[in-house]
Copies of this chain bind each other. A is one copy, B any other.
């Protein structure tokens, strides 16, 4: 089957996705293109959209207007209408299942969403120079998820052609950037029979030729939306009649960043997107903070969350306002199991193009692949997060991020061979 898929095909596929970056729950074009490709393969099962997401577990879903806008844009960009219809309401993502024997079930998770970053127009930025810059102005694949989806497809093809004996499930996960999609996919049931789970990320400041068998150091994270409600009044005429949410918000911000550091390990806090009020001369009735807390462990994240919530509530009360808190995204911390790290590391050492196999490294950020890893580990399986180096001129989440397309092949080879090796095990 994969005879028909050359490296050039994968590059073309990746560039198509790169031209159409879509953020969380709006991956309409992306999912449709993936499913369109998957349907050309000889799969045993194929799940789309709502079939891969636990009902009620999605977080940070945009409103209908926003979803409709991206939906229409995907249609206009040429996405297949019959697939789009299955994604209505922002149910994006897919799962491909290949069954080749009675061996263990191996999962591979790749994420597919883009970021709200404006891509560089500089000719030295390959997508701009090469004609595959983002066509969705203000959005960009600035974290390589276009490459991840492509690797997912490539691994599927390579394993199909291999002597793998077992079941391979490739999860195309939406909404990673908001840590909003991992939970519903983890709770969908599709992970429950997975014996070994691999997740992959490209780059992470490792150049092409380096492969990290077991990435760790995931910070557990909690995203929140705090919406303050007060009372408007005229700032000149009746300042005393207002209940000022901007004052509440400012008090909260100052104190959020000042949550005491913790001796058990690293913590983080950010009020990343804030706003309030309507006009210069009106006491602001509505304000909001979209923020996050993190911890080196899930316990540290909870410590931060509890403090943040107390601060938000007290700040509202201080100014006689109300505050409503919504969870917008969550991910636990996780560790890569040594058993599976050993397999990937051994494979890396013999894979062409890998000149620097590295056993372990730390991420220092968050990732909701941890939800899927945790799900598998809780049921006795093993999980591992693999880093595939790529020369990337700009850093992750910057306008000049790009991947070295040579590394697509390395990623496909390392992961496909690891799947085959894991298939030989009996859990």
Contacts and interface: CB of A to CB of B under 8 A. Distances in A.
A328 interface: yes
Given A273-B277, A274-B277, A280-B329, A239 B254 contact: no
A151 interface: no
A320 interface: yes
Interface string A265-280: 0111111111111111
Interface residues of A, number: 71
A283 interface: yes
B278 A273 contact: yes
Contact of A240 (B260, B283, B311): B260
Interface in A209-248: 219, 221, 223, 234-240, 242, 244, 246-247
Contacts of A242: 260
A262 interface: yes
A208 interface: no
Contacts of A281: 221, 223, 270, 272, 292, 366
A272 B262 contact: no
B247 A257 contact: yes
Nearest to A320: B310
A280 B272 contact: yes
Nearest to A258: B257
Given A234-B397, A292-B280, A315-B318, A247 B255 contact: yes
A314 interface: yes
Contact of A272 (B219, B279, B318, B366): B279
Contact of A280 (B223, B237, B260): B223
Given A234-B397, A273-B277, A258 B258 contact: yes
B272 A237 contact: no
A250 interface: yes
Given A254-B250, A311-B318, A261 B266 contact: yes
A290 interface: yes
A263 B291 contact: no
A143 B234 CA distance: 12
A237 B318 contact: no
Nearest to A240: B262
A339 interface: no
B268 A236 contact: yes
Contacts of A255: 247, 251, 254, 318-319
Contacts of A314: 314-315, 317-318
B247 A263 contact: no
A103 interface: no
A67 interface: no
A253 to B, nearest CB: 4
Given A240-B303, A254-B254, A292-B281, A268 B261 contact: yes
Contacts of A264: 240
A281 B364 CA distance: 13
Contact of A292 (B235, B275, B294, B317): B235
A249 to B, nearest CB: 8
A367 to B, nearest CB: 10
Task: Enumerate the 6 nearest inter-chain pairs by beta-carbon distance, A residue then B residue, closest first.
Answer: A257-B258, A314-B318, A235-B270, A275-B275, A250-B253, A250-B250
25 contacts: A178-B280, A235-B269, A235-B270, A236-B366, A239-B260, A239-B270, A240-B303, A247-B258, A250-B250, A258-B258, A263-B266, A271-B284, A272-B277, A272-B280, A272-B281, A273-B276, A273-B278, A274-B275, A280-B291, A281-B292, A314-B314, A314-B315, A315-B318, A317-B317, A318-B318
Interface of A: 115-116, 178, 219, 221, 223, 234-240, 242, 244, 246-247, 249-251, 253-255, 257-258, 260-264, 266-284, 287, 290-292, 294, 303, 310-311, 314-315, 317-320, 328-329, 363-366, 396-397
